[in-house]
Amino acid sequence: MCTRNMKTTILFSTLLVASTLIAADVPSPEVQIASAVLAAPQDLRDGAAVLGYSPQGELVKLREGKNDLICLANDPGKPKFSAACYHKDLEPYMARGRELLAQKVTGQKRNEIRWKEVTEGKLSMPREPRTLYVLTGTGFDAATGKVTDPYLRWVIYVPFATPESTGLSTKGSDSAPWLMFPGTAGAHIMINPPKK
């Protein structure tokens, strides 16, 4: 039979082991910065702000920025590599998306909440085009500074754009830009280069 002190000791030990495992799995800030900025164009990497993860797994600012780009480091809790860089004006929209994910709100529901908040003026979203760069892969080798099986795609946010206002198709393509979520606050042009 477990006493209260034994239960407390077991709980504390479990939390200690879990926090040690989290700390061991989170790369150093230098590695996170080096991998995160790979999503950005070469000439914008040195000046980009970088968000990454603390040893406790919390999202924190790892580096202040000197230009208009914010890069988000790979989530060490995910099995595959994914880093993104985006214009700083998109940060309120991106931060709200992360907040909703933390509340387990995903998919179309997450999109609809943000779009409604933008439309109601509760969430800031630029009306002019802003770019997001997304670099994915199967992993990152810190020794070589390279992403394994890298794939870079571009997203250009054009809130409330339509096929009529852009001349773009809404049919997904790996050989031409196309418009996703037309007419919404989250409308964006997808540019997916063919995979090698």
pLDDT digits (tens, 9 = 90+) for 26-71: 999 999 999 999 999 999 999 999 999 999 989 999 999 999 999 9
Helices (H), 37-178: 91-102, 107-119, 163-166
For residue 165, what are the contacts with CB-CB under 8 A and spacing of at least 6?
none
Q: Please tell me the pTM assigned to this model.
A: 0.84
Q: Give the closest residue to 155 by CA, choosing from 109, 124, 195, 193.
A: 193
Q: What are phi and psi of 146, to 5 degrees?
A: -125, 145
Strands 178-180, 151-157: pairing is unpaired
Mean pLDDT, the chain, rounded, equals: 89
pLDDT at 13 over 60: no
pLDDT digits (tens, 9 = 90+) for 100-144: 999 999 999 999 999 999 999 999 999 999 999 999 999 999 899
